[in-house]
Amino acid sequence: MAVLAVRGATQVDADERDQILEATAELVTEVMTRNALTTDDVISVIFTVTPDLTAEFPALAARKLGFHEVPLLCASEIDVLHALPRVIRLMAHIETDRPRSAIQHVYLRGATALRVDIAQ
Protein backbone atom coordinates (compact mmCIF):
# COMPACT_ATOMS: atom_id res chain seq x y z
CA MET A 1 0.00 0.00 0.00
CA ALA A 2 1.14 3.49 -0.81
CA VAL A 3 0.05 6.78 0.70
CA LEU A 4 -0.98 9.22 -2.03
CA ALA A 5 -2.81 12.52 -2.22
CA VAL A 6 -5.85 13.30 -4.34
CA ARG A 7 -6.65 16.92 -5.18
CA GLY A 8 -9.92 18.49 -6.14
CA ALA A 9 -11.78 21.78 -6.31
CA THR A 10 -15.17 23.23 -7.09
CA GLN A 11 -16.75 26.65 -7.20
CA VAL A 12 -20.03 27.98 -5.81
CA ASP A 13 -22.10 30.91 -7.06
CA ALA A 14 -22.59 32.51 -3.66
CA ASP A 15 -21.47 32.32 -0.03
CA GLU A 16 -24.52 30.33 1.04
CA ARG A 17 -24.51 27.37 3.40
CA ASP A 18 -26.56 25.10 1.14
CA GLN A 19 -24.37 25.83 -1.88
CA ILE A 20 -21.18 25.09 0.06
CA LEU A 21 -22.57 21.81 1.40
CA GLU A 22 -23.98 20.71 -1.96
CA ALA A 23 -20.84 21.53 -3.95
CA THR A 24 -18.56 19.92 -1.36
CA ALA A 25 -20.68 16.75 -1.26
CA GLU A 26 -20.53 16.59 -5.06
CA LEU A 27 -16.75 17.05 -5.02
CA VAL A 28 -16.12 14.45 -2.31
CA THR A 29 -18.43 11.96 -4.02
CA GLU A 30 -16.66 12.41 -7.36
CA VAL A 31 -13.21 12.00 -5.80
CA MET A 32 -14.33 8.82 -4.07
CA THR A 33 -16.11 7.38 -7.13
CA ARG A 34 -13.46 8.18 -9.73
CA ASN A 35 -10.75 6.68 -7.54
CA ALA A 36 -12.80 3.67 -6.34
CA LEU A 37 -12.29 4.65 -2.70
CA THR A 38 -14.15 3.92 0.52
CA THR A 39 -13.83 5.93 3.70
CA ASP A 40 -11.55 3.15 5.03
CA ASP A 41 -9.03 4.13 2.33
CA VAL A 42 -8.96 7.77 3.41
CA ILE A 43 -6.36 8.81 5.98
CA SER A 44 -7.38 12.49 6.21
CA VAL A 45 -8.86 15.34 4.18
CA ILE A 46 -7.87 18.99 4.21
CA PHE A 47 -10.48 21.41 2.87
CA THR A 48 -9.67 25.01 2.04
CA VAL A 49 -11.94 27.81 0.95
CA THR A 50 -11.24 31.20 -0.52
CA PRO A 51 -11.65 34.03 2.02
CA ASP A 52 -15.01 34.99 0.51
CA LEU A 53 -16.63 31.74 1.75
CA THR A 54 -17.64 31.84 5.41
CA ALA A 55 -21.21 30.49 5.52
CA GLU A 56 -20.26 26.89 6.46
CA PHE A 57 -17.40 24.46 7.01
CA PRO A 58 -17.01 22.19 3.96
CA ALA A 59 -16.03 19.30 6.24
CA LEU A 60 -19.65 19.13 7.40
CA ALA A 61 -20.63 17.82 3.96
CA ALA A 62 -18.04 15.03 4.27
CA ARG A 63 -19.34 14.13 7.73
CA LYS A 64 -22.85 13.88 6.27
CA LEU A 65 -21.45 11.47 3.64
CA GLY A 66 -20.11 9.13 6.33
CA PHE A 67 -16.61 10.45 7.04
CA HIS A 68 -17.14 9.97 10.78
CA GLU A 69 -13.75 8.38 11.59
CA VAL A 70 -11.67 10.35 9.08
CA PRO A 71 -9.76 13.37 10.39
CA LEU A 72 -10.98 16.48 8.54
CA LEU A 73 -9.57 20.00 8.62
CA CYS A 74 -10.86 23.27 7.17
CA ALA A 75 -8.67 26.28 6.43
CA SER A 76 -8.74 29.51 4.49
CA GLU A 77 -6.71 30.00 1.32
CA ILE A 78 -4.38 32.98 1.16
CA ASP A 79 -6.10 36.07 -0.21
CA VAL A 80 -4.45 36.44 -3.61
CA LEU A 81 -5.76 39.39 -5.62
CA HIS A 82 -6.24 37.54 -8.92
CA ALA A 83 -7.50 34.25 -7.42
CA LEU A 84 -10.67 32.59 -8.64
CA PRO A 85 -13.43 33.52 -6.17
CA ARG A 86 -15.72 31.21 -4.13
CA VAL A 87 -13.57 28.09 -4.48
CA ILE A 88 -13.59 25.01 -2.25
CA ARG A 89 -10.51 22.82 -2.50
CA LEU A 90 -9.63 19.48 -0.99
CA MET A 91 -6.60 17.32 -0.60
CA ALA A 92 -7.33 13.78 0.53
CA HIS A 93 -4.55 11.53 1.77
CA ILE A 94 -5.32 7.93 0.86
CA GLU A 95 -3.92 4.42 1.10
CA THR A 96 -4.04 2.63 -2.23
CA ASP A 97 -2.42 -0.02 -4.38
CA ARG A 98 -3.00 2.13 -7.46
CA PRO A 99 -0.01 3.86 -9.05
CA ARG A 100 0.21 7.64 -8.81
CA SER A 101 -0.51 7.86 -12.55
CA ALA A 102 -3.92 6.21 -12.00
CA ILE A 103 -5.13 8.77 -9.45
CA GLN A 104 -7.88 11.01 -10.80
CA HIS A 105 -7.88 14.54 -9.47
CA VAL A 106 -11.30 16.19 -9.72
CA TYR A 107 -12.05 19.78 -10.73
CA LEU A 108 -15.72 20.69 -11.07
CA ARG A 109 -17.86 23.65 -12.05
CA GLY A 110 -15.91 26.89 -12.50
CA ALA A 111 -12.88 25.36 -10.78
CA THR A 112 -12.03 23.49 -13.98
CA ALA A 113 -10.24 26.73 -14.93
CA LEU A 114 -7.70 26.04 -12.17
CA ARG A 115 -6.37 22.88 -13.79
CA VAL A 116 -7.45 22.71 -17.42
CA ASP A 117 -4.71 20.12 -17.93
CA ILE A 118 -6.49 17.54 -15.74
CA ALA A 119 -10.09 18.73 -15.29
CA GLN A 120 -12.73 16.30 -16.52
- Which residues carry out catalysis? 7, 63, 74, 77, 89, 107, 115
Which residues lie closer than 8 Å to 116 by C-beta, 6 or more apart? none
Which residues lie closer than 8 Å to 1 by C-beta, 6 or more apart? 95, 96, 97
